[in-house]
Chain A
Amino acid sequence: MSERLREKLSILADAAKYDVSCSSSGSDRKNTNKGIGNGHHSGICHTYTEDGRCVSLLKILLTNHCIFDCAYCVSRKSNDIERAAFTVDEVVELTMNFYRRNFIEGLFLSSGIFKNADYTMERLLRVVKKLRLEQNYNGYIHLKTIPGASEELIKEAGLYADRMSINLEMPTETGLKLLAPDKSHKDVIKPLGFVQNQIVQFKVEKKLIKSVPKFVPAGQSTQMVIGATPETDKEIMYTADAFYKNFALRRVYYSGYIPISNDTRMPILGTQPPLLRENRLYQTDWLMRFYGFKVQEILNDANPHLEIDIDPKLSWALRNLKHFPVDINTAPYRMILRIPGIGVMSAQKIVQARQFGKLHIYQLKNIGVAYSRAKHFIKCADTPFQMKDFQATQIKAFILAESQSKYLKTDSNQLILFK
């Protein structure tokens, strides 16, 4: 019995791991009636895998049987792999026992499509209902919305889940059509929009009537696979931007494609996943969400790709030297945020601290500013007088000479001619 359970867990965790979302934040669900579990506003990462990704949730598929044959997916019908399926009780037992030992923050439940969408969604719903209603479990639940499932089922699931998500898979419709001819972005847009409307409606009602239950309190997210199809960074980020705006998504995840098949439409087996590109995309995502950048400022027709050797914030600054140097002691907060080497925390500290007197270099360093980077773009109380202005290329050379990219050693996408 326990041997088979261990086997199933290995198979179904392995199949679920390519979904990178693991956040457990954004839910303030309380532990009611002395049950077990609660939400944590910023989430908790209980451990990290050896590849450095956070493990916050028990991320598993209910089954890896699937009627679809999407080229980018390990669980595709034509792939010759071991198949398994959990029973509803097994998932509930695993979740409860892991949770009680403080291994996890909650459950991330997804599934291959067996029989049809409604049949699958109904099974997922049974798991979450059992957890919430029978086990009095108030921990985090991230549930996949199964594209094509009926709105009644999706709506009911939303009453128990903290977050729901559907993956876009490929950043553009053309890319998706190439690898999964049966699928379309429309299948994703419809349920995303439906859940979003429900969230808004429940919020409006909650304002009037206090007893209205929570509905997907941690919002929705989606994921795009990067590097399987030949999209530009601009196309990827414009799609992300549109989805952030249209569906109020909490997160868009970018997952570097890890070759899993010999399909000639995609990178061959053994190709390194595009980790650096993934990193640059996330940096851009952060600039859009926390630093007040518009996506068009970072990526446009003149710059359809992010620079690989420097981060997008520095890249923007070098292209727009006319805005610099910024005076730390007088500039508005939004401009301080745009200085390379200054993060959100440092920017907030600077704005608070400068009310007590002009800030000097040593104070900036103490506050936590990466001064060797920022110094090219700022003026403060004791900035040394400088006769000449440097060109963007010169500043870039200075910064690159001083810093060492953490990816340089592992950048194996670079062709090696001689070894």
Chain B
Amino acid sequence: MIYVFDGSLEGLLTTVFEWYERKPGEVILRTEKFYQPDAFTESFPIQNDRTKADRVWAALQKKLSKEWVRKFYCAYLSEIPEIFNSLFLFTIYIFQNPAGAEKNYGNDHVLALSKAAKSVEREKHRMEAFIRFQHTADGIFYCGIDPDFNVLPLILNHFKNRYADQKWIIYDLKRHYGLFYDLTVVEEITIEINLQALKQPAAHQLNEKEELYAHLWKDYFKSTNIVSRKNTKLHIKHVPKRYWKYLTEKQL
């Protein structure tokens, strides 16, 4: 039996509810995007249902520590196609076993979940490090990113707490939505202008001092390097090339 859902968290949690209602035995969970019907397995489309999802979520929170609820959420945000099935089976595994079962790192689902969560947390941390704001002419600090995983919900608080006295926008170019902080609250926004302008604002859209500070930062980056210790392999390990496009110090 294959369960097919829309890829949302609500859908995922509803799936668990439906499984308990029907107990169809072994089930594989697929998203609509990756589902290919075949002649031998039956499929069942999941209808999202807020109440059912909420009940499963509440039960999960009762059974898991805060740390593990976060891991669950992070793994979900990874958007890795196989992770949804693991999350589904993990949830059932947790419900079927006494409290503390999530510590069983010998279990495949536990391990898959904790690995995915770790990747997402790493990406989250990298975004906290690699985001480079540009001061725009209208006074907003702007940065466009395209992270591997959907980490905007995870970095929201960090930036809100840290940059409380400046307006800022962090925009996910890949998923086409962003966060805008207007000095009081953070809002989710979508901007309808061409992608190129979102990637790199034109010179006239930037604050007049922006170029100076970009130069100063590049100077600093160059001066603080010790040439006789050059270690390119280590450098790339810490700052993988796919992130270079964000980094002011890596632009010529």
Residues of A at under 8 Å CB distance from B?
Answer: 2, 5-6, 9-11, 13-14, 16-18, 30-31, 34-38, 40, 44-55, 58-59, 94, 97-98, 100-103, 136, 256, 258, 272-273, 275, 349-350, 352-353, 355-357, 359-360, 363, 366-367, 406, 410
17 contacts between A and B (CB under 8 A): A5-B216, A6-B219, A9-B220, A14-B223, A14-B224, A34-B183, A36-B162, A36-B166, A46-B129, A50-B235, A97-B213, A97-B216, A101-B141, A103-B132, A349-B105, A356-B101, A410-B231
Return chain B residues, CB-CB under 8 Å to A272: 228
Known: A13-B219, A17-B224, A258-B228. 10 other contacts (CB 8 A): A9-B220, A9-B223, A17-B225, A31-B164, A36-B162, A51-B231, A52-B237, A98-B213, A353-B104, A406-B233
Interface of B is mostly: helix
Output the nearest chain A residue to B102 by Cβ-Cβ distance. A352
Query: In the assembly, what is the distance between CA of A34 and CA of B164, in Å?
Result: 5
Q: Quick one: closest A residue to B220, CB to CB?
A: A13
Q: Are A13 and B134 in contact (CB under 8 A)?
A: no
A363 and B37 alpha carbons, distance in the complex (Å): 34
Residues of B in contact with A, size category: 35 or more
Q: Is B161 an interface residue (CB 8 A)?
A: yes
Q: How far is the CA of A240 from the CA of B177 in the complex (A)?
A: 50
Residue of A nearest to B112 (CB): A366
Please pick, from A36, A94, A356, A357, the residue contacting B103 in the complex, using a CB distance under 8 A.
A356
Q: Do A47 and B223 touch (CB < 8 A)?
A: no
The distance in angstroms between the C-alpha atoms of A268 and B41, with both chains bound, is 74
Is B162 a contact of A58 with CB atoms below 8 Å?
no
Choice from B104, B133, B247, B249 contacting A356 with Cβ under 8 Å: B104
* A6 partner residues in chain B, CB cutoff 8 A: 215-216, 219
Interface assignment of B135: CB less than 8 Å from any CB of chain A: yes
User: For residue A356, which residues in chain B have a CB less than 8 angstroms away from its CB?
Assistant: 101, 103-104, 106-107
Are A353 and B103 neighbours in the complex by a CB distance under 8 Å?
Answer: yes
> Quick one: which of B131, B216, B226, B230 contacts A102, CB cutoff 8 A?
B131
Q: Is the CB of B162 within 8 A of A44?
A: no
A310 CB to nearest chain B CB (Å): 20
CA distance A35 to B164 in the complex (A): 6
Q: Which residues of B contact A50 (CB under 8 A)?
A: 225, 230-232, 235
Pair A55/B224 contact, Cβ less than 8 Å: yes
Q: A363 contacts which chain B residues (CB < 8 A)?
A: 105-106
Q: Within the assembled complex, what's the spacing in Å between the Cα atoms of A53 and B235?
A: 8
